[in-house]
Amino acid sequence: MNEELMHELEELQDKHSTRPDVFDDVEEEHNIDILTAEISQMFSRAKQGLLVINRQAKNGSDQEKKVAKNVVSSLAITLQDLSVDFRKAQSSFLKSKRNKGGEF
């Protein structure tokens, strides 16, 4: 997961949210939509990667299975934390848009 993209999205959302009129910058809003979609796809690919590791580990030795389980557990926790942060930021941004009269 690319935390830089999440940070870039957060900055764009903050910048966009502070504008007096939510419709001031259509290009900026388009960039927010693109980054949101990219990050969502990254979450999906990361989840699929964890599933692949789990499947491949089933054919390994006991030690390989244990290592794979530990790696997947660690990565899943990190992925979940990032996902929660992303969803909170999205929710906050959308609430801000609604409060300003945006169509979200």
Does the structure show a pLDDT above 80 at 43?
A: yes
| Distance between CA atoms of residues 92 and 82, nearest Å | 15
| CB environment 62-85: b (16+ within 10 A), e (fewer) | eeeeeebeeebeebeeebeebbee
70-75 — which CB contacts under 8 Å span 24+ positions? Answer: 75/46, 75/50
Domain segments of the chain as ranges? 3-99
Its pTM surpasses 0.85 = no
pLDDT grade for 102, boundaries at 50, 70 and 90: low
CATH architecture of 3-99: Up-down Bundle (1.20)
Residue 58 per-residue DSSP state = T
Residue 61 per-residue DSSP state = -
pLDDT grade for 29, boundaries at 50, 70 and 90: confident
11's CB contacts (< 8 A; 6+ apart) are none
| Distance between CA atoms of residues 94 and 98, nearest Å | 6
